[in-house]
Amino acid sequence: MTRFPDGSAGDADYGSIGEGYALIRRPDPRIAAQFHEPFGDAKTVLNVGAGAGSYEPTDREVTAVEPSASMRAQRPAGLAVAIDATADALPFADDSFDASMASITIHQWPDPERGLAQMRRVTTGPVVILTFDPVPPVHWWLIDYVPELFDVEAKRMPPIGDITAALGGRTEVRTVLLPADCTDRFGQALFARPEQLLDANVRRAMSAWSFVDPAVTDAFVAHLADDLASGAWDEKYGDFRSLPAFDGGLRLVIGHGE
């Protein structure tokens, strides 16, 4: 496995793009509640690809695994220190944890199938994966402005069926709707706040943009800025501003292990 200088083991170099990540990608409590519900009465939880700690429960004993030094350094003081390890070689004995989780990370793993099998190996109860469907369920305005971004994501995101197959046993897939004021500012969560995508810091906190040609990004920013200033965006897409929630393809995949 090739690792970037800061230890990032996936396809994105968080040593380059990870600065300020925790300030932009603040976990939304409504998403967190849905994420944590499948844990049930689990007392010990493994978080794989834990990053800066988004969506880690604070009422359970959490063991975090994160290969990127940049991301480990952004973990709040109240969270456990993350272990430098990768999903495909978890350094734990079989059945070490009551539950395990992975939050919008498996698309970055070199071998998602192996990583999910490792999570299943070390977990006695539910394995809970927050991820995106590679096929957007709704055609929305950002696809019109920068289709290249969605081409990138379609190649990176494992199909939901592949995830359930890798987990094995009884699995469940739930739709997680995105609230219009979502505090976790990934692209789909900004469906009603297009102005925020003009901010380079916001885009940098979304790994997909690091795979888009800079000239394409510059053209997108100019196009969107012009349309917002002229009112053309609101004329064509303004209905998005009034949506209380949106299905941006966020999915909770639960492997019950039975």
Residue 18 has pLDDT above 90, yes or no: no
Helix (H, G, I), strand (E, B) or coil at 252: strand
Which residues, 6 or more positions from 189, have their beta carbon under 8 angstroms from its beta carbon? 28, 178, 182, 248
Residue 115 has pLDDT above 60, yes or no: yes
The conformational region for residue 207 under phi > 0 = left, psi -120 to 50 = alpha, else beta, is: alpha
Residue 120 has pLDDT above 80, yes or no: yes
Residue 96 has pLDDT above 80, yes or no: yes
The answer to whether the beta carbons of residues 129 and 107 sit under 8 Å apart is no
CATH superfamily of 14-255: Vaccinia Virus protein VP39 (3.40.50.150)
CA 246 to chain centre: 16
The answer to whether the beta carbons of residues 252 and 173 sit under 8 Å apart is yes
Which residues, 6 or more positions from 77, have their beta carbon under 8 angstroms from its beta carbon? none
Residue 61 has pLDDT above 70, yes or no: yes
Residue 14 has pLDDT above 90, yes or no: no
> Could you give the percent of the chain with pLDDT greater than 90?
80
Residue-range domain boundaries for the chain: 14-255
Per-residue pLDDT band for 257 (boundaries 50, 70, 90) equals confident
Per-residue pLDDT band for 21 (boundaries 50, 70, 90) equals low
Helix (H, G, I), strand (E, B) or coil at 231: coil
Name 99's bridge partners.
Answer: 45
Rounded to an integer, what distance in angstroms lies between the CA atom of residue 91 and that of residue 170? Answer: 25
What is the residue type of 74?
Q
Rounded to an integer, the average pLDDT of 176-182 is: 98
Which tokens in the block code for residue 34? Answer: 């849905």
Which tokens in the block code for residue 148? Answer: 């290249």
pLDDT at 190: 98
Rounded to an integer, the average pLDDT of 54-63 is: 95
Tell me the pLDDT tens digit for each residue of 25-40: 889 999 999 999 999 9
Alpha helices per DSSP H over the chain = 14-17, 21-24, 29-36, 69-72, 112-122, 141-145, 147-156, 160-167, 200-204, 214-230, 232-237
What is the residue type of 87?
A
Higher-confidence position of 139 and 207: 139
